[in-house]
C-alpha cells in the first residue's frame, strides 16, 4: 500500500503542475481581456473556466482521501486524452462517516487497477477527442461501492467497464 500511496502523491504533484500551468494561462487570458477593455469577454471566459473545473470540485467532495486521490489522477489522465469527465455519486459518499463502513484499504489497489483498465479502453488517435465524454457513476452496494465507467462519442456508447467491491471486478 505504501507504493500506491507514493504513486498517488507523485501523480498529484504532477497534476498540481498542470493546474498551475492552466491557472497561469487562465489569468493571462482574463488580464488580456481586461487590458483590451473587454470586461464582458473576461466574465464570459471566467464562466467557461468554472464549467471546465467543475469535475475537480465534484471529486473533492468525496469523503475518502485515497479514493479522492485516485479519482483526481483518473480525471487528469482522461483530460490529457481529451475526454470530458462527468462524475456522479450518491450524496452519502461526501461524508467521511460513510466511508468508515464502505472502504477497506485493499480497495485502493484494485480500484486503481480498474481506473488503469478503463484508460486502456480509450483508443488514442482513432477518436475525435472533442466529442468524447467519460461518465463515471458511483453506487452504494452492501458494505462497499460500485463504479461504472462509460465512454461516449457524442451519444454513442463506445466502452463500458464496471467495478464492484462486492465482486471486486465484474
Tens digits of residue pLDDT in 5-60: 899 999 999 999 999 999 999 999 999 999 999 999 999 999 999 999 999 999 99
- CA-to-CA dists, residue 1 to 7, 8, 152, angstroms: 10, 11, 33
Residues of the chain with pLDDT > 90, as a percent, come to: 74
Structural domain count, the chain:
1
What does the block give as the cell for 43?
Answer: 466574465
pLDDT digits (tens, 9 = 90+) for 60-80: 999 999 999 999 999 999 988
168 pLDDT more than 70:
no
Query: DSSP character for 95?
Result: -
- 131 falls in which pLDDT band (50, 70, 90)? confident
Domain residues for the domain of 161 are 2-169
The reported pLDDT for the residue numbered 129 is 59
Q: Are 26 and 47 in contact (CB under 8 A)?
A: no
pTM score, two decimals?
Answer: 0.86
Decide the pairing of beta strands 84-88 and 132-141.
Answer: parallel
The reported pLDDT for the residue numbered 127 is 55
162 pLDDT more than 80:
yes
Amino acid at each position: 500500500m505504501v507504493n500506491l500511496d507514493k504513486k498517488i502523491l507523485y501523480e498529484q504533484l504532477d497534476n498540481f503542475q498542470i493546474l498551475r500551468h492552466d491557472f497561469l494561462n487562465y489569468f493571462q487570458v482574463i488580464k488580456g481581456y481586461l487590458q483590451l477593455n473587454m470586461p464582458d469577454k473576461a466574465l464570459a471566459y471566467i464562466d467557461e473556466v468554472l464549467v471546465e473545473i467543475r469535475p475537480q470540485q465534484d471529486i473533492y467532495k468525496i469523503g475518502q482521501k485515497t479514493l479522492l486521490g485516485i479519482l483526481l489522477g483518473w480525471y487528469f489522465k482522461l483530460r490529457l486524452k481529451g475526454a470530458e469527465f462527468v462524475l456522479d455519486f450518491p450524496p452519502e459518499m461526501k461524508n467521511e462517516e460513510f466511508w468508515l463502513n464502505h472502504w477497506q484499504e485493499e480497495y485502493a489497489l484494485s480500484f486503481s487497477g480498474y481506473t488503469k483498465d478503463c484508460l486502456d479502453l480509450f483508443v488514442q488517435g482513432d477518436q475525435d477527442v472533442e466529442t468524447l465524454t467519460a461518465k463515471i457513476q458511483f453506487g452504494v452496494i452492501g458494505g462497499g461501492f460500485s463504479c461504472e465507467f462509460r465512454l461516449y462519442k457524442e451519444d454513442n456508447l463506445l466502452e463500458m467497464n464496471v467495478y464492484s467491491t462486492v465482486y471486486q471486478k465484474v
